């Protein structure tokens, strides 16, 4: 990653007769700079996405003087926290070459159960929160088992569980969800500690843990191996089935947790509370430079993607643009990010400069 500008000593003696011996000697002596000169693809996308987000926050000062300060960073983090949690799960599933379409249904289910079982009183929180997580995890396991054992494509399996879960949530509430948020959830989403909102501390902690899980643990490395080449992963002795199922469990539990957070934020549940998170989670992962075919991507860039999309949404709202144009601009941003992240552009930046 360093030594970008250093020239190989080769160029000094390419002219003149009798330099053959010199050349060979020099080649033998010259250090191999090829690996050090290459910038990792993940680094480029992460820097790009975060850079764009910061630029956007600075530029937003021109839109409205109220924007562009720490307050706005605060708002962005609070608004992005749901998407960060959901995109962690979606990112892990996309990493293994799958796709989780059941996320909105799981967010809704978790939200509806939280609001009605735990409710405003918060009685029984100590066993009901874990129980709801287990239910969500169990649904994720069903998706995973269907994909691994029954060999159903992920797209279809998670769509089927999504439809079933959404329909069950509808039936459970009879069409009108009741209840509200317990003090614990309200505290997490609205409370402060030493002037810093709890939720921001929590989301920073979540991001660090998420990044470590995805890039530093065996679990994360093996998921990446499965995504880049399933057959090779099988031959390498990875119990691929278990890992794939746990990826879907992780995604389902992330969605379930986002459900808790949304109930705390909105002090209640609705049957459509998860709807916006399917496409935006895929968008965040894709804008973060992950390949939708799996095997490539990092949670750092995905976090960048969620922040970029959230900031953009805020800035456009501040411009007072009608909802329709706002949506059009969001779509164009995704397209723009995709075009910037194209293979040939990335390889232009990451190719070893010293051998040009």
Partner 1 sequence: MAQAPASAEPSAPENGLLRRLFSSGTGVIALIYVVLYVLFALWDHSALTSGTVVNLANNAAPLAIAAAGETMVVLARGFDLSVAGVISLTNVIMAAYPMEGPDGAAISLLICLAVGGMVGLVNGYLVSVLKLQSIAATLATMIICQGLALVILDAPGGTVSDFVADQLTDVVIGVVPVAGLIILVIVAVWLVFQRTAMGIALYTVGSDEVSAQLSGISVSSTRFIGFVSAGMLYGLAGFMLSAQTATGNPNGGASFLMLTFAAVALGGTSLSGGRGSVVGSILGAGTLMLLQKVLFAGGVSSFYTGIFQGTVLVIAVVFGGLITRLSERRGAR
Nearest approach, Cβ of 81 to partner 1 (angstroms)?
22
From 92, 139, 157, 255, residue interacting with partner 1 (rule: CB under 8 A): 157
Q: How many H-runs (helices) and E-runs (strands) does the chain carry?
A: 15, 2
The rounded distance, in Å, linking the Cα atoms of 257 and 246 is 16
Closest CB to partner 1 among 125 and 168?
168
What are the structure tokens assigned to 81, written together? 């926290």
From 78, 120, 133, 170, residue interacting with partner 1 (rule: CB under 8 A): 170
Closest CB to partner 1 among 18 and 322?
322
From 196, 212, 319, 335, residue interacting with partner 1 (rule: CB under 8 A): 335
205 binds partner 1 (CB under 8 A): no
Nearest approach, Cβ of 114 to partner 1 (angstroms)?
20
Are 109 and 277 in contact by the 8 Å Cβ rule? The answer is: no
The piece of 25-33, 168-176, 190-198, 298-306 that touches partner 1 (CB under 8 A) is: 168-176
345 binds partner 1 (CB under 8 A): no
Closest CB to partner 1 among 57 and 282?
282
**To 10 degrees, what angle do helices 240-266 and 103-113 make?**
50
Q: How many CB atoms lie within 10 A of CB 190?
A: 15
| Residues listed for the chain | 356
- Expressed in percent and rounded to 5, the helix, strand and coil fractions of the chain are 70, 0, 25
Closest CB to partner 1 among 97 and 197?
97
Nearest to 259 by CA among 84, 79, 109: 109
* Residue where the block lists tokens 């390498």: 236
Q: Strand runs (DSSP E) across the chain, as ranges?
A: 192-193, 196-197
Nearest approach, Cβ of 348 to partner 1 (angstroms)?
15
From 19, 168, 228, 350, residue interacting with partner 1 (rule: CB under 8 A): 168
Are 100 and 89 in contact by the 8 Å Cβ rule? The answer is: yes
**Residue span 285-314 as binding mask against partner 1, x where in contact by CB under 8 A, dash where not:** -x----xxx---------------------
331 binds partner 1 (CB under 8 A): yes
325 binds partner 1 (CB under 8 A): yes
231 binds partner 1 (CB under 8 A): no
The rounded distance, in Å, linking the Cα atoms of 230 and 266 is 41
338 binds partner 1 (CB under 8 A): yes
From 282, 284, 300, 307, residue interacting with partner 1 (rule: CB under 8 A): 282
3-state secondary structure of 110: helix
Q: How many CB atoms lie within 10 A of CB 138?
A: 12
The rounded distance, in Å, linking the Cα atoms of 189 and 191 is 6
From 134, 156, 209, 236, residue interacting with partner 1 (rule: CB under 8 A): 156
Nearest to 104 by CA among 40, 175, 165, 15: 165
Nearest approach, Cβ of 210 to partner 1 (angstroms)?
22
151 binds partner 1 (CB under 8 A): yes
Q: How many CB atoms lie within 10 A of CB 175?
A: 7
Closest CB to partner 1 among 64 and 327?
327
155 binds partner 1 (CB under 8 A): yes
* Residues binding partner 1 (CB under 8 A): 99, 101, 146, 150-153, 155-157, 159-164, 166-168, 170-171, 174-175, 279, 282-283, 286, 291-293, 322-332, 334-335, 338-339, 342-343
């Amino acid at each position: 990653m360093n030594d970008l500008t250093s020239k190989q000593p080769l160029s000094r003696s390419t002219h003149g007769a009798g330099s053959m011996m010199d050349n060979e000697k020099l080649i033998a002596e010259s250090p191999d700079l090829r690996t050090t000169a290459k910038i990792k693809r993940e680094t480029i996308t992460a820097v790009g996405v975060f850079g764009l987000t910061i630029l956007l926050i600075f530029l937003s000062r021109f839109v409205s003087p109220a924007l562009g300060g720490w307050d706005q960073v605060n708002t962005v983090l609070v608004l992005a926290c749901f998407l960060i949690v959901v995109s962690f799960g979606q990112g892990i599933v996309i990493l293994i070459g799958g796709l989780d379409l059941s996320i909105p249904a799981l967010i809704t289910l978790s939200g509806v159960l939280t609001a009605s079982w735990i409710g405003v009183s918060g009685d029984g929180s100590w066993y009901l929160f874990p129980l709801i997580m287990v239910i969500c995890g169990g649904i994720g396991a069903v998706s995973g088992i269907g994909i691994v054992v029954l060999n159903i494509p992920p797209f279809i399996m998670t769509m089927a569980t999504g439809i079933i879960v959404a329909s069950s949530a509808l039936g459970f509430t009879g069409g009108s969800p009741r209840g509200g948020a317990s003090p614990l959830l309200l505290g997490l989403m609205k409370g402060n500690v030493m002037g810093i909102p709890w939720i921001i501390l929590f989301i920073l902690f979540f991001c660090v843990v998420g990044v470590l899980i995805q890039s530093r643990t065996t679990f994360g490395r093996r998921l990446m191996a499965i995504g880049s080449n399933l057959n090779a992963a099988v031959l390498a002795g990875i119990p691929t089935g278990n890992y794939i199922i746990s990826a879907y469990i992780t995604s389902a539990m992330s969605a379930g947790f986002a459900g808790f957070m949304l109930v705390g934020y909105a002090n209640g549940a609705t049957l459509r509370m998860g709807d916006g998170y399917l496409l935006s989670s895929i968008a965040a992962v894709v804008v973060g430079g992950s390949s939708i075919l799996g095997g490539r991507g990092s949670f750092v860039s995905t976090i960048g993607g969620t922040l970029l999309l959230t900031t953009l949404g805020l800035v456009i709202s501040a411009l007072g643009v009608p909802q329709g144009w706002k949506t059009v601009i969001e779509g164009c941003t995704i397209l723009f990010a995709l075009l910037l992240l194209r293979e040939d552009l990335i390889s232009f930046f990451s190719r070893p400069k010293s051998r040009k």
